[in-house]
Chains A and B, each alone.
Chain A
């Protein structure tokens, strides 16, 4: 009865979802020309609706993005704060200078380690949590989901206070717990070997919930019939996961890899509130370097370092799209 209406609805949804990506063929254009009064009215309404956002966006996003690039190509310092246009053009000198700065190279190395270790760990932990919650258990799912997600919504400043006391060498819970097993825990945040790994663990703790939620949604789109058919054909759980579930999760994986990667390359909060980049710059990140330059009044170097991170983000995102996009 109602079955016959479903395909039609489905079709329109698909069409509208194609949205702005849809190309307008000459025939369409002629049709639009005939209805130009409607489209004219639509266009006017569209710009009225868009105007407030675009005005704020231009003032607080586009202008700063362009201005920052210009700052990195001039010798802007904090002394120019009130007369920001009174600066001289220096070309790429600032970029050359920061790449000769040993501290910036250290910061880039730390950021690379953080991303290369932290990103796969976060994705794997989030995926594992999602698979176990979706396929492994049937009760108390909501409890685990909420618990695993909780760190995502928390203020880093508050979390830092808590973790600092947890990691306190003598009175902290971590070293006390290690003591039960006869392990003498180090002074985590004061040790150059452990400070960066602690930052990575913290980041995984704070971000795996996001990955889990998106992966859970992806898993729910894997049709049950497919899994049952594979089971009947004798595919084991491991095979079913790698051959069916994992390929179908590709869009979810791409989304989480891209957003987490963008966040991780800007690695800032954890070292800023926990170690201030120390000990001995072992947790100094590229964005922290930029912030330090800002604090020292070197607006040119701060902008240049920011732009280097921007370029790295674009590169990583492009790479992820190349590797993970659906290959039809």
Chain B
């Protein structure tokens, strides 16, 4: 069957030709795998280096030339991280902040996204344009006034100061609106005819259908919050409010700045949860970004 579609089908005589074509069909261009594998190695080399370094005792880490695989692997770096540097409470803070920010964005962005996609009201276009335009505002522009606001509200002594400014992100509205726009209007009209109230339509009809978009937004928001460091670095005043990136940033510029083993173990603790989340949900994630981006 497939030979029919090939423009070179008349040459399909010899067995060698046939085999080559089968390889081509199953694998594409076989020689491309070599540069691709090289590129892949370059892309993930920093992660392998990090993983290996985090298990190296101090004697190994400074060796010239460096050893790629630790000669005497130890978990000493990790235990010091959690016992002396209090990474467990930072870990808990990171989780709390990221979950709160994610929950807020899922709720608020899908509500406004639905209104902008499907409901008729005056000012709909202006609201959309206004929200989207702020995607161009640099973080540093809002940084200073936000600092003044949060300080005057007395929020920089609590985790709330790390959560509140990030609860409603314009990007989420864009993503949810784009996705909800693709749902058929008939669903909503039918629900109206059945006497379903407007807010119930959102809750019972629309929200269950937006699960793929919610998954994408949830993962993106969680990762963004988990990796956020500048705001928490400036706002968090006491050690009991530090998030993981703050703890790691302070460790790498503090007294431990030459203790590469500990710092690399810290990097693993920061990266491992997001890499796990990503590997588990990468299908959702990739599909969501790709489709919402292009519509």
Contacts and interface: CB of A to CB of B under 8 A. Distances in A.
Interface string A290-307: 110010000100110111
Nearest to A273: B249
A63 B115 contact: no
Interface residues of A, number: 114
A84 B148 contact: yes
Nearest to A52: B108
Interface residues of B, number: 113
A21 B146 CA distance: 33
A213 B286 contact: yes
A162 B46 contact: yes
Contacts, number: 329
Given A43-B120, A213-B290, A306 B43 contact: no
Given A170-B64, A313-B138, A213 B289 contact: yes
A146 B26 CA distance: 21
B91 interface: no
B148 A150 contact: no
B114 interface: yes
Contacts of A223: none
B53 A165 contact: yes
Interface stretch (A88-96, A172-180, A239-247): A172-180
A100 interface: no
Contact of A157 (B53, B117, B142, B248): B248
A112 interface: no
A132 to B, nearest CB: 6
A155 B120 contact: no
A305 B177 CA distance: 33
From B134, B294, B295, name the one whose CB has the most chain A CB atoms within 10 angstroms: B294
A280 interface: no
A226 interface: no
A74 B176 CA distance: 39
A103 B260 CA distance: 32
Interface stretch (A54-62, A116-124, A183-191): A54-62
Interface in B127-148: 127-128, 130-131, 134-148
B142 A64 contact: yes
B138 A309 contact: yes
Contact of A306 (B49, B117, B144, B230): B144
A302 B184 contact: no
Given A57-B131, A158-B266, A153 B223 contact: yes
A41 B53 CA distance: 62
Interface in B249-295: 249, 252, 260, 263-264, 266-268, 270-271, 274-275, 278-279, 282, 286, 289-291, 293-295
Chain A contact surface mostly: helix
Given A49-B202, A61-B137, A161-B267, A153 B148 contact: no
Contacts of B136: 262, 310, 313-314, 317
Interface string A104-146: 0000000000000000000000000100100111111001111
B167 A56 contact: yes
Contact of A150 (B44, B120, B227): B44
A231 B7 contact: yes
Given A46-B115, A155-B270, A176-B65, 19 more contacts: A38-B192, A42-B198, A46-B124, A61-B170, A68-B142, A84-B148, A129-B39, A138-B28, A147-B40, A151-B43, A154-B227, A154-B274, A176-B64, A213-B286, A273-B249, A287-B139, A306-B144, A310-B141, A317-B136
Interface of A: 9, 12-13, 15-17, 19-21, 32, 38-39, 41-50, 52-54, 56-57, 59-65, 67-68, 71, 81-82, 84, 129, 132, 135-140, 143-151, 153-166, 168, 170-173, 176, 179, 205, 210, 213-214, 216-218, 221, 228, 231-232, 251-252, 255, 262, 265-266, 268-269, 272-273, 287, 290-291, 294, 299, 302-303, 305-307, 309-310, 313-314, 317
